[in-house]
Structure 1
Amino acid sequence: MKNIIYSLMAIFMSLSMRAQLTDLTTGVWNLEKVVINNTDYPFPNTNSLITATASFHNNGFSTSICNIFNADAGYSSSSISIIGATLTLGSCPTTNNDEYNQFENHYFGTFWGGTAATGFYQNHTYSITSIGQQLQLTITNPNGDQAIYWRAALSTTENEVIKENVSISPNPFKDFIQIHFGDTISDFEISMYDMQGKQVFNQVFRKEKSVKIHLPDLEKGVYLFHMKSKDQQISRKVIKK
């Protein structure tokens, strides 16, 4: 009987850990705050045009405020291991005592390790807690600092539909890229960055089902494509040939 109980407990724990990894890579997470040296730094939320989000996928993740942190990463049921990362080099509006740039310094610099002598921290742990109809994601860096995110509980199927509904072609491209959406998307922004973090394209679109971006003068190389809307955030690597 004990062996049966232990086996059932092991199966339950395995399913729970697998569910946590699925929750991590489902939907878009909204950043609430970072906790640095036991001090809370809430996301300002004073400018409706600036949001703080994170989106995790099978081979890495991207998180953005005014700048974009894009990382190649691997996951376990409770850890995130960053293999390589890039951060764009833009600036937020300097209103309200420069609160957004200061928050980015806490988030990208101190929490993720952008200002650390050794570069971005490689190893983080995470946990996901269900609170009512919301999920809370807590990521902890090697120093014990934390980033707290929230999102509504979504099904895996809903997340797969979001990803499948966005396609970028051709890739590699020569003069242009075409972005197709399964449904009409409203109020979204597309940006592109080179591997040094310099922005090479940015445009806001209001209501489109397909977008064609002409880039004939762009130098050959690898670029980060980033699309952000209210409901989703997608980052892909594209190649100009």
Structure 2
Amino acid sequence: MKTVIKLVICLLSLTSFAQVAPLENHTWYLEKLVINNTDFFVPSGFSNSYFANFANGADYSLNAPCYPIQGTLNYSQNQTFNINDASTPLDCDGLPRQITEYDEKIMFSINLSNNPFFYVFSYKSNYIELTITNANGDQAIYRNQQLGVSSNEKLEVDLYPNPATSSFQLDISAGSNIKTVRIFSVNGKEEMHFKKPQSSYNVSQLSPGIYFVKIEGEIGQKMKKIIIE
């Protein structure tokens, strides 16, 4: 009997891993939102600025021009997850109204009150489609490849050390330069603003806690989470 129970637990674990693994193996580019049976495609010119990543069995992030989101979630056995928390810096300076409104649609669709979220994969000839449906029946449609642009460039940034105490450094992908670096609290308040790239970013004035570092480069922007000790 114990052997049977162990086997069942093992099979359930393998099933859970098989469902979660495709999520964590790819970067997912948002194609459109479906809200109240109406399609809302990503605004023109920003087709690859919206992408999601899932990692470590609990972490997720959604890059967006106005309201990038980071948080944690819990997976269930039946291809569902519940979002535990979600944080975003409130920073939309200089962005068109259509971007602000689109980002707001995303924020409302992944509100914690819309738990649970059901996800399903569709395997196409040359890409995988991910559909995430919230409790209201609204959907977000993603692909595991960029959405047909002439350039495949994407800003890649490493931030270290993390956790940090008094300073951190940034290592940016070749062929790009940092323009500005801004640091936000989890409540969306801008705490620091570096208008020029630095060899080392002094954050000794920050209190211990979790912050978001928004890096703007020549080919895009990136949001990184940092812990200050």
The Cα offsets for residues 163-184 of structure 1, whole Å up to 9 and x where unpaired, read as 9x9462152412x113457x74
Residue 136 of structure 1: how far off its partner (Å): 0.9
Q: What SS class does the counterpart of residue 152 from structure 1 fall into? A: coil
Letter in 2 for 1:82: I
Q: What SS class does the counterpart of residue 205 from structure 2 fall into? A: coil
Distance 1:192 1:54, change over 3 A: farther
Distance 1:47 1:150, change over 3 A: closer
Taking the aligned partners of 2:196 and 2:144, their CA distance within structure 1 comes to: 24
Q: What SS class does the counterpart of residue 114 from structure 2 fall into? A: coil
The yes-or-no answer on 1:148 pairing with 2:151 is no
Query: Equivalent residue for 2:227?
Result: 238
Query: Equivalent residue for 1:57?
Result: 55
Match runs of 1:162-181 below 5 Å: 166=158, 168-169=160-161, 171-174=163-166, 176-180=167-171
Taking the aligned partners of 1:23 and 1:228, their CA distance within structure 2 comes to: 29
Contact 1:62 1:235 in 2 (8 A): no
Letter in 2 for 1:22: A
Query: Equivalent residue for 1:137?
Result: 130
Taking the aligned partners of 2:113 and 2:177, their CA distance within structure 1 comes to: 32
Query: Equivalent residue for 2:75?
Result: 75
Q: What SS class does the counterpart of residue 200 from structure 2 fall into? A: strand
Taking the aligned partners of 2:121 and 2:54, their CA distance within structure 1 comes to: 13
The Cα offsets for residues 85-132 of structure 1, whole Å up to 9 and x where unpaired, read as 21221226454xx211111121112x112xxxxx55342111122112
Taking the aligned partners of 1:27 and 1:204, their CA distance within structure 2 comes to: 32
Residue 81 of structure 1: how far off its partner (Å): 1.5
The Cα offsets for residues 183-212 of structure 1, whole Å up to 9 and x where unpaired, read as 747457855321211233566999xxx963
Letter in 1 for 2:168: I
Letter in 2 for 1:52: Y
Q: What SS class does the counterpart of residue 92 from structure 2 fall into? A: coil
Unaligned runs of 5+ in 2: 1-10, 147-155
Taking the aligned partners of 1:86 and 1:31, their CA distance within structure 2 comes to: 19
Contact 1:30 1:52 in 2 (8 A): yes
Of the candidates 188, 197, 204, which is equivalent to residue 197 of structure 1?
188
Higher strand share: 1
The yes-or-no answer on 1:89 pairing with 2:90 is yes
**Most deviating of 143-152 and 214-223:** 214-223
Residue 137 of structure 1: how far off its partner (Å): 1.0
Residue 220 of structure 1: how far off its partner (Å): 3.6
Unaligned runs of 5+ in 1: 1-10, 114-118, 154-162
Query: Equivalent residue for 2:28?
Result: 29
Taking the aligned partners of 1:24 and 1:177, their CA distance within structure 2 comes to: 30
| Percent identity between the two aligned chains | 24
Contact 2:123 2:129 in 1 (8 A): yes
Name the count of aligned residue pairs: 207
